[in-house]
Each structure stands twice: as C-alpha cells, then as structure tokens.
Amino acid sequence: MKYAKRMEKVKASAIRSSQKKIAAKVANGGSVISFAAGLPDPNLYPMEELKDATMKVFEKNGKEAVAYGLSKGDNRLLKLLAKRMQEKENMDVDAENLLVVTGSQQGIAFSAMIFLDKDDIVIAENPSYLGAINAFRPYEPQFLGVDTDEDGIVVEHLDKILSENPNVKMIYVIPSFQNPSGKTWTTERRKAFMEVVNKYDDIVVIEDNPYGEIRFKGEPTPTLKSLDTKGNVVYLGSMSKVLTPGLRVAWVVADKEVVDKMELIKEGADLQCNQFAQNQVAEYLENYDLDAHIEEIRAAYKNRCELMMKTIKEYFPEGVKYTDPDGGMFIWVELPEGIDANEMLDDAIEAGVAYVSGEFFYANEGKKNTIRLNYTTMSEEQIVEGIKILAKVIENKMK
Amino acid sequence: MKYAKRMEKVKASAIRSSQKKIAAKVANGGSVISFAAGLPDPNLYPMEELKDATMKVFEKNGKEAVAYGLSKGDNRLLKLLAKRMQEKENMDVDAENLLVVTGSQQGIAFSAMIFLDKDDIVIAENPSYLGAINAFRPYEPQFLGVDTDEDGIVVEHLDKILSENPNVKMIYVIPSFQNPSGKTWTTERRKAFMEVVNKYDDIVVIEDNPYGEIRFKGEPTPTLKSLDTKGNVVYLGSMSKVLTPGLRVAWVVADKEVVDKMELIKEGADLQCNQFAQNQVAEYLENYDLDAHIEEIRAAYKNRCELMMKTIKEYFPEGVKYTDPDGGMFIWVELPEGIDANEMLDDAIEAGVAYVSGEFFYANEGKKNTIRLNYTTMSEEQIVEGIKILAKVIENKMK
C-alpha cells in the first residue's frame, strides 16, 4: 500500500511505548511502580454520582440521548460549559463560542486542520505535550521551541522568534501546570505574552488547559483567553482530568468564526461527539457539585505531590534538578548532562520503576537527560518505594 | 484570521442546511413532514435493553469503563465485532484487523488522511454519500464519478477511468442500499468490480456499509471485503443504523498494516473513542440478540418503504423516475429534466414536505433534477400525506 506523504511525519507516542515496555515486564510476572502515566486516579472518579446521572439521562432524555444530535454539541451541555467558562475563567463568551470535542486532543487536531498549511511554523514551549506535537505532524508544519523559566514562557525569546520568522502561524501553550514540566506561568508573564502576540497579525494561540483547576498551592492565575482582546486565543477545556477521561468530553472556546469553521470540520471528521456522554456530563453538572469534587482531587494530589517531592529531596543524588509544581500531575527531572534517560529506562523498569523519557516532549531535538514523573496514580507507599528505587538507578548511572 | 488553504474546499452539508430550512418553518409555527432525514427511527431503539446493559457496565466494569483505554478500541468490543464480521460477513479477520472509530464518518476521514495526497483522484459512485465527499475535501483530492445502473457500479466505466488516470488512489463505494440512491450491487457486479480493481496496483477501496444488514427483500450479497484477496479493501461497519447512532460506535476492518497506521492517526486525532459507549455496546452484544433486533427494524422499514413506493406510484406525475430499494433507508427520485429540485425545496417546505436535493450528492457537477427521500422516520400517515403533497408540488413545477 502507498500511504500519503504526511504519514512519514506521524510518530507513535513515546508514552504508549513506555507502557508497552511496562506491560512486557508485568506479563513476565514482574511488578513495576509506574510514574509514566498521565492519568487521573480512577479511585477518585465520582462513580455513584455518575451512575445516578446516567440513570437520570435514561429517565429524562431517553431516546434523544442515544440519537443523532448537533455537530456543534448538545445545547444543554454547551450552555452549562459556557456558564462555567464565564464564572470560573472570567471569559466573555456564550454557547455560540463553544464546540464540544472528543478530548482536548481533538481540539488540538482541529486547530491544526483549520489553520496550518504545510511548512507554517508552530511554536511550542520547550518541552511541550508530545500528544499535541503528534497531532500537528500530519499537517506538516515546522516547529520552533521557546525557552521557559520559573515564571513561564520567556517572552523576549518568543518576541525574537516572531520578529525573525514571518511564517509563524500558531503558538501552542499549556500555561498552567504544564505537561510535562509542571510549570505555571505567572499572571505578569501571561499579560506580557498576550502583549507580544498582539503585536503580530494572524497568529493563533492554542491555550490547552486540562489541569488549570487542579491547583493545590499558590495564587490563581487568569487564563490567556480571559486576557484575549483580539480573538486570537483558541482555548481548550476538558472533563478528562477533573471528572473522568473515558467519556471524552472536552470543549473548544473561540471566536464564533473559528467555532463555525471547526463545526464544518467536525461534520467531516466524525459528524458529532457521543450524544449519551454529553448528556451524562450535563446531568452531572446540573445535579452535582463539580467544584466540591475538584476540591477532593486537589487534596489528594497535593498529598502525593508533597510526598514525592519530600522523597525526591531525601533520596535523589546531588546534581539532579527538578520542578516543584503548584498543581497538575507532573514533576520534571533533569539528570546531569550525559545521562540518557531513555537508555536508563530499561534499567529502571528492570529495577521496578517506570517514567516517560523527557526527550520525546520536544518538537525538535530533545534533552536526553530529562524525565517526566507523574504522582497522581500511585499510592503513598508506592511513591516512596518507587522514588527510592529510581534514586538508586540514577546513582548507578552517575557512577 | 487566516485559515489553511484546505478550508476553501470544505463545504457545509446540504443535509444540515435542509434541516435549517425546516427548523425555520417549524419555528414559525408551521409543520413539515420531513423525508430529509438519514436517521433510523428512534422508536425502534431498544431502550430497555440499553439501559440494562448500561447498568451492567457500572456493576461489572465500573471505573475502568470511564477511564482511559486503548487508542485501537476496547479489547472485548474488538473481539465481539471481529467475531460478528467472521460469522455475518464471512471475513477472514481477527481483532487485530479492527479499529473502533467515532461513526463510519471517522473511518472515512482516517482513510483520507492516511492515503490521500493533494490532487490524488478519488472515485465515487454518481451520486454518492455527500458526508464522505465532504470528509475527503480537506485533503484536497480530485473527484471522478462512475456511472451506476440497476445492478450497481458500471465496471466497464470504472475500468476505463482507471486505465486513463494513473493518479487514482481511492474508490469510495456503498455497495448495499446506497445513500442516496437506495441501489444495491448484485453479487456478479461485486465480483467483477474486485477483478477490475485487482488489475491495478495501490488502489484502496473504501467499502462503506452502514445499511447492509437492513435488507428486507431479495437475496443477500457478499461484502467486497469478503471477496478481497489482496488486502485492498478498507471496510467500514457501524452500529448507527442497526442499534443507535448517538453512541457513535463504528469500526474499520482492514489489513493489519492499515489498522496500525490508523491507530497512530487516532492517537493524534482524539486519542481514543468514548470508553463507556464501547462498554455499553459490548455489554449489549453479549447479553442481547442484535439480530433479532435487526429483524424488527427490517420489518418496520419494509412496511414504510412499500407504503411510500405504493403512494409514489399512485400520485407522482408521469415522467418522474424512482428507484425501488431492497433495503436501507432511501428512495432516489429523478424529476423531468429542467426542474431544479433545490429551487423546488422552498415550495415543498412551504407546502409542508421536505427532502434533500440530489445535486449535493455528486462530487462534481450534480444532477439538479434529483431528490433523496427517506422513509424510516415518518409514520405511515405522514408518509402517505407527505408523498401526496410532494406529488402536487412536482405537478405544479412541471406545468
């Protein structure tokens, strides 16, 4: 078979290949403490409430909930989400500015589809979410990375890149509790970013915000969309990290014109999202307190994050650097130069602990001495035990 | 905002614009008998069984059913569907040959994405499913139409096109109860088609088969996939017309290599399908008799189709031609030359009846004097009443 040229650019996700290595070890009777996931803890899903909401869908909406609906999304859900965006994120938007998508992932893919021509430049933070980079690849853009520091994206670096590259079309960012670094931009940095972006014409900002509500330390920061005066920001929200990922309910917030284009693309791409899941989420939002549920998640992740940080500080050898997140799901580790974390992964899995190698989170050449650690899915005992094992693996590699 | 060049090719669905015209009339207090839909009858959904299956999902799979799963699809569902394809469609396939997608629509879009380069030629029947044509457009292929007769696609015409156009990459067909024509290819025609296709290298056949099981007259015909000896056929199956469309559960059957490529694309496009809906369908398939349910659908649609045919024969003016389907959901009408069915639609809606204009079902220039009628969603009274009204509208136009 002869495939389209774009397929040469498409790569498998390194996260899923880590998972395969782990699965192979487990299949052979081994056990692995995995910090490789990017998953919420299933034990925190509000199963009773979801079940109850599901029953209500059958009682109240019945056939309509399993029939065809609108490509743009279920009206009731769109209104509920618009209200949430107004109240929680201070956005001046209405249901007409929203579109329901299958995970933020589909919002990223649709953004690529409607905006990117071959060889347009996409800017991403260094490092960035590899799933986004993979979603862009079939549209054959070029990538440029922008530096980040403790306060977020380095706007001077961004400004330099923009002034030197008239072909930049899109900037993809995760300003809050970034995947994979765990970093969060300060409010000042967000404002400065929007100022720089607004200097240029026709640059689209994709603000991917799946973790924004999972803040367990520090002061809230505004979304870029709430600071957007020119309609350049396409915001991606999701239920995956705050409610449950398997229902795949996420949404795009953007200018009506952009939403209309995405609706057209949605018709061709899969006609519409699952109608039943949209009803389940709408029913849940109407009958239960999502914010109270998020409080539970925050408390649980805060504990695990603090425990992981404490154990890292105690056991990791000197010369290893790491971030200290205020929320979200990830810690980013930089090993001493010269250590190849992907090579080390085999030793780690052999010793009983797993992570995702950081180099795959770069659009171009990646730093081989980096690691992404997740702290949301393992128990407290596993976190302590896993970090101790990992510390030894690193120590051995540093010898 | 500056959009990607491909967006110039993307068009709104004419079906959805008919629906908007109808909605406007209804909003003004009017009533419309609509033959414009392509929907199964919601009154035939097995709601009690679906509810029961859903409860079982909560009891048996709980958290797992709302967590992340595999991009390829839920293992249990893949196995159940593979078994169904073996038993019902005589395909020599296994779970590794299947991928779960969000409606056949996503299977069409993925096929376009992995196979089509700009200006590759896609062949479709004349007329064909406009949703497929729209799904292809963002990949900027050229389209060529092939003639069809009472027995299906005209293979001599196809052979001529293939021999004259080395750039043909893909042939998109709906061999059973086609949308919009209602036509079904004979077994001989299917064999002849595969023989012609097999003469050429690297041509992909997309066999879209959402209606195949809804046969209420005549002899069963083999799927192209079951006749495929070279692995050229990508088959699309769906629960939308036989169970319920809102769960968006459909599947691709293809060579493992093609499925693997699609899995990669799926990761970038939306990571995976709704996990809960896959569990609902798997649970339904394990506990209930889908075939018995399909028998009910067949019986109901047979009645409605026969009633619509009878009424058409009695009331439509001479000079109007129409197909007489053995299954599926549609009748295709050809008005006398010179009548513009899309212009006539406003008169029809004003008079209280709606359809989809046939010209939009052609990839290139369409026949303006054609109409697609659906008989699955209106009651018997509405079918008789609506056809009588439409007959008058046509008569007036012919004057």
pLDDT higher than threshold 90 for residue B364: no
pLDDT higher than threshold 90 for residue A25: no
pLDDT at residue B254, as a whole number: 98
Q: Hey, what are A49's tokens? A: 């409430």
When scoring B1, B241, B260 by the number of chain A Cβ atoms within 10 A, the one with the most, hence best to mutate, is: B1
pLDDT higher than threshold 80 for residue B183: yes
pLDDT higher than threshold 80 for residue A7: yes
B75 vs B54: CA distance, rounded Å: 18
Give ranges for CATH 3.90.1150.10 in chain A.
5-45+292-398
Q: Give residue A181's identity as a one-letter amino acid code.
A: S
Q: How many CB atoms lie within 10 A of CB A296?
A: 11
User: Do B328 and B238 contact (CB within 8 A), yes or no?
Assistant: no
Helix (H) or strand (E) holding A99: strand A98-102
Interchain pair A63, B69: CB under 8 A: no
pLDDT tier for residue B42 given thresholds of 50, 70 and 90: very high
Residue with tokens 């991928």: B99
pLDDT at residue B75, as a whole number: 96
pLDDT higher than threshold 90 for residue A18: no
pLDDT tens for A126-140 read 999 989 998 999 999
Helix (H) or strand (E) holding B149: strand B148-149
pLDDT tier for residue B197 given thresholds of 50, 70 and 90: very high
Helix residue spans in chain B (DSSP H): 14-27, 47-60, 75-89, 103-115, 130-136, 155-164, 187-198, 256-269, 275-287, 290-315, 341-351, 380-398
Q: In sequence order, what are the residues at sequence separation of 6 or more whose Cβ sits closer than 8 angstroms to the Cβ of residue B190?
A: B152, B175, B221, B222, B224, B227
Cα of first residue to Cα of last residue in chain A, in angstroms, is 49
Model ipTM?
Answer: 0.95
Chain A residues close to B231, C-beta within 8 Å: 1
Q: How many CB atoms lie within 10 A of CB B350?
A: 12
Report which of residues A262 and B62 the model is more confident about.
Answer: A262
Q: Hey, what are A205's tokens? A: 């900002």
Determine contact: B9 vs chain A, CB below 8 A.
no
Q: Is the peptide bond before B127 cis (omega within 30 degrees of 0)?
A: yes
pLDDT tens for A195-212 read 999 999 889 999 999 999
DSSP for B35-47 reads ----PPPGGGS-H
Dihedral sign for Cα atoms in the order B334, B340, B342, B346: negative
Chain B residues close to A6, C-beta within 8 Å: 113, 117
**Would you identify the CATH topology of the domain B47-289?**
Aspartate Aminotransferase; domain 2 (3.40.640)
Q: In sequence order, what are the residues at sequence separation of 6 or more whose Cβ sits closer than 8 angstroms to the Cβ of residue B399?
A: none
pLDDT tier for residue B11 given thresholds of 50, 70 and 90: confident
| Rounded mean pLDDT, B244-268 | 96
pLDDT at residue B12, as a whole number: 74
- Return mean pLDDT, chain A: 95
pLDDT at residue A246, as a whole number: 96
B213 vs B83: CA distance, rounded Å: 16
Q: How many CB atoms lie within 10 A of CB B288?
A: 17
Helix (H) or strand (E) holding A397: helix A380-398
Residue of chain A whose Cα is closest to the Cα of B42: A63
Cα–Cα distances in angstroms (integers) from residue B152 to residues A245, B127, B147, B149, B174, in the given order: 44, 12, 9, 5, 10
DSSP state of A222: -
Chains A and B: how many Cβ contacts under 8 Å?
218
Phi first, then psi: give them for residue B259, nearest 5 degrees. Answer: -60, -40
Report which of residues A297 and A12 the model is more confident about.
Answer: A297
pLDDT at residue A22, as a whole number: 83
pLDDT tens for A375-395 read 999 999 999 999 999 999 999
Interchain pair B106, A270: CB under 8 A: yes
pLDDT tens for B226-248 read 999 999 999 999 999 999 999 99
Q: What angle do CA A352, A355, A360 make, to 5 degrees?
A: 145
Q: How many CB atoms lie within 10 A of CB B244?
A: 28
**Would you identify the CATH topology of the domain A5-45+292-398?**
Aspartate Aminotransferase, domain 1 (3.90.1150)
Interchain pair A102, B277: CB under 8 A: no
pLDDT tier for residue B93 given thresholds of 50, 70 and 90: very high
Give ranges for CATH 3.40.640.10 in chain B.
47-289
